[in-house]
Amino acid sequence: MPRLSLLRIVSSISTQLDRTLDKPSPIFHFLIVLCTYSLLFLCLREDPRISTTTTSETLKALAIDRDTYEFRVSRFNNYITSERFRSGPGELGRGVDTGISDEEMKRVNDKEGYNSYACNRTALDRSLGHRPAKECLAIKYPKKLPTASVILIFFNEPFRLIIRTVFSVVNRTPPAYLKEVILLDDGSTQADLLEPMDTFVRQNWPDGVVQIVRLPERTGLIRARLEGAKVATGDVLIFLDAHCEATFRWIEPLLYRIQQKPDAVVCPAIANIDRFTLKFFRTDVRYTEDGWLSLRVGSFAWDGMYIFEHPPRRSIIKRASNAEPIESITMPGGLFAMSRKYFFDLGGYDEGMEIWGGENLEISFRIWQCGGSLEFSPCSTVGHVYRVTHPYSFPGRLNFIMPL
C-alpha cells in the first residue's frame, strides 16, 4: 500500500473524529491516531503484494517487455490481496457438500475418479487459505531466483481440474519467477479440451504466460514429459500433475534450493485434496509426540510400488531448522522441481517406458547414483487430488485401469 494512501486514511479518520466529537481530548486523539498507524503498519508488514519495478535483466530472462511484466504483477497483486476475503463454495479450501445420494456419488466416482459435482460448484480460481509455517515465512528469499517452466501433462482430464491447476500456479507465483506454464496435451479427444480450451486460455491469459502444446497422437506420460521439457525455456522444470493446486509461496523454496544446489531435485509437501468434497487438507509439518517428523518422504515397497514413510532420524537431526529440506530415497514422480540443465545432463526419462508407473523410481535411483540428491521441502505445499481410478484406457495392450 503506498505511503500516501496510509496518510490519507489516517487523515480521514482524524477528520471524522473532529466532526463527531465536540471537544476531542488531545490524548484521545493521539491514541486513536497511534492505534490507526499500528493497524496499518501490521497490514503493510503482511502485505504480500510485489512492486512493478523490475530490471532489464529480469525482463530478458522472462523474454517479455515491461508492459507485460506490469500486467502480470497487477494480476498477481489483485488476486493475492483479495484471496483471504473470498467466499462461496469451496473457498478457503473448504469442502463442498453437493447433497447427492450415495448411489450417485458411487456412480460418479467409479466413472470419473472424483466428485465432478463438487468440482463444478467450486470456482476455478478458488482461495485455499493456506499459509506456510512461521519458520518458512521468516525466510527472506533472494530477489533473484531462477525462472521456472511449470509443465502439466494431460490426456482427457476433466477441464475444470486442469484449469484450476493453472489458475493456482499463475495466481500464486510471483511473475519474476514464472517463465511459462506449458499445458501439454498428450492426444486428448474430449471436445472441451480442444478449441474451447484454446479460447479459454487466450481469454484468461492474454499475456502468453500459459501455452498449449499438442502432440498429434498419444505417447504416454513419460514421453509427453520429455516433450514438455524440450519446449520449456525456464531455468527450472517443475512437473505437476494436472489435478493439483499450488499454495501461497509454493515456488520460492523450490527455486531457492535449486539455486543453492543445482543437482538437487526438490518435491513440495503434498497436501491431500479430498476427491469427494475438494476439501484442502492443510499440511502441518511438525514433530510428533514420539519424535517423528509429520512430513512423509518417498520410499518403495519390494513390489515396486511407491510409498510414503517417515524420514529416517538421521535425516531429521542433521537439519538446522524445520524449514530446511529433508532427504528422500525416492520421489512420487508427479510433483517435483529440477534444473533443466541437470535434467538433460542426467539423461531425462527413459523413453522406452510406457504410460506411467516406475519412472519415478528409476529416475530417483539415477539421481542418487549420479551424485545428485532428492529432497522434500516443508516450506512448499501443493495440493493433489488422489483419484481411485483413471477415467480412460491406455493405448496398445494396456487397456485397464490402474490405481493412482
Average pLDDT over residues 39-65: 78
Q: Residue 395: is its pLDDT beyond 70?
A: no
pTM, two decimal places: 0.84
- The answer to which of 105-119, 143-157, 215-229 has the lowest mean pLDDT is 105-119
Is pLDDT at 398 greater than 80 in this prediction?
Answer: no
User: Residue 272's pLDDT band (boundaries 50, 70, 90)?
Assistant: very high
Question: Do 279 and 130 have their domain in common?
Answer: yes
- Centre a 10 Å sphere on the Cβ of residue 188 and count the other Cβ atoms it contains: 20
Alpha helices, H only, 193-320: 195-204, 221-231, 252-260, 313-317
- Position 296 in a domain: yes
Least confident of 60-64, 134-138, 155-159, 331-335: 331-335
| DSSP character at residue 312 | P
> How high is the pLDDT of residue 26?
65
> How many angstroms separate the CA atoms of 145 and 168, rounded?
20
76-85, 142-151, 284-293, 319-328: least confidently modelled range: 284-293
Q: Which three cell numbers stand for residue 348?
A: 531425462
Summarised one tens digit per residue, pLDDT across range 224-239 is 999 999 999 999 999 9
pLDDT > 70: what percent of the chain?
A: 80
Residues 112 and 207 occupy one common structural domain: yes
pLDDT interval class at 197 (50, 70, 90): very high
Residue 45 has what pLDDT?
A: 46
Mean of the per-residue pLDDT values for the chain? 84
Classify residue 368: in a domain, yes or no: yes
Q: For residue 313, which of 287, 339, 335, 337 has the smallest C-alpha distance?
A: 287
Residue 292 has pLDDT above 50, yes or no: no
CA distance 311 to 291: 11
- Locus of grid cell 530490471: 55
How many domains does the chain contain in total?
2
Within-domain flag for 69: no
pLDDT of residue 256: 98
Is the same domain home to 139 and 277? yes
pLDDT score of 394: 53
Are 188 and 271 contained in the same domain?
A: yes
Q: Is residue 55 part of a domain?
A: no
Q: What pLDDT score was predicted for residue 233?
A: 98
90: pLDDT confidence band, cut at 50, 70 and 90? very high
Which residues constitute the domain of residue 147?
Answer: 108-385
Report whether pLDDT(127) > 70: yes
pLDDT band at 379 (very low <50, low <70, confident <90, very high): very high
- Whether 354 and 213 map to the same domain: the answer is yes
Same domain, 112 and 25: no
- Assess if residue 179 is contained within a domain: yes
pLDDT in tens, 294-319: 677 878 878 777 777 777 777 777 77
State the pLDDT confidence band at 3, using cuts at 50, 70 and 90: very low
Average pLDDT over residues 16-29: 58
Report CA-CA distances (Å) from 200 to 75, 178, 184, 282. 17, 20, 15, 30
Nearest to 385 by CA among 135, 168, 208: 168
Q: Are residues 28 and 155 in the same domain?
A: no
H helices of 275-402, in order, are 313-317, 340-345, 359-369
Query: Do 31 and 122 sit in the same domain of this protein?
Result: no
Q: Is residue 390 part of a domain?
A: no
Could you tell me if 240 and 326 lie in one domain? Answer: yes
Residue 373 in grid coordinates: 540428491
Query: What's the CA angle centered on 340, arms 335 and 345, to 5 degrees?
Result: 115
**Pair (248, 324) in one structural domain:** yes
- Average pLDDT of the segment spanning 54-71: 96
User: Is the confidence at residue 400, as pLDDT, over 50?
Assistant: no
Domain-embedded: residue 37 = yes
Reported confidence tier of residue 150, pLDDT bands at 50, 70, 90: very high
- pLDDT digit string (tens) for 159-179? 999 999 999 999 999 999 999
- The listed range with the strongest mean pLDDT (124-138, 201-215, 285-299, 349-363) is 201-215
Residue 22 has a pLDDT of 57
Indicate whether 286 pLDDT > 80.
no
Query: Do 23 and 172 reside in the same domain of the chain?
Result: no
Q: Do 300 and 170 sit in the same domain of this protein? A: yes
Contact between 372 and 265 under an 8 Å Cβ cutoff? The reply is yes
* Mean pLDDT of the region 61-67: 97
Question: Taking the C-alpha atoms of 131, 136, 138 and 143 in order, what is their torsion angle to the nearest 10 degrees?
Answer: -100
- Write the CATH number for 228: 3.90.550.10
Contacts of 22 (CB under 8 A, 6+ apart): none
Q: Please give the backbone phi and psi of residue 22, each rounded to the nearest 5 degrees, phi first.
A: -65, -50
Residue percentage of the chain with pLDDT more than 90:
56
In a domain, 261, yes or no: yes
Phi, psi for 374 (deg, rounded to 5): -115, 130
Q: Assess whether pLDDT exceeds 90 at residue 151.
A: yes
Helix intervals (H) in 46-65: 56-62
pLDDT in tens, 325-373: 999 988 887 899 999 999 999 998 877 666 556 778 888 999 999 999 9
Do the Cβ atoms of 129 and 92 come closer than 8 Å? yes
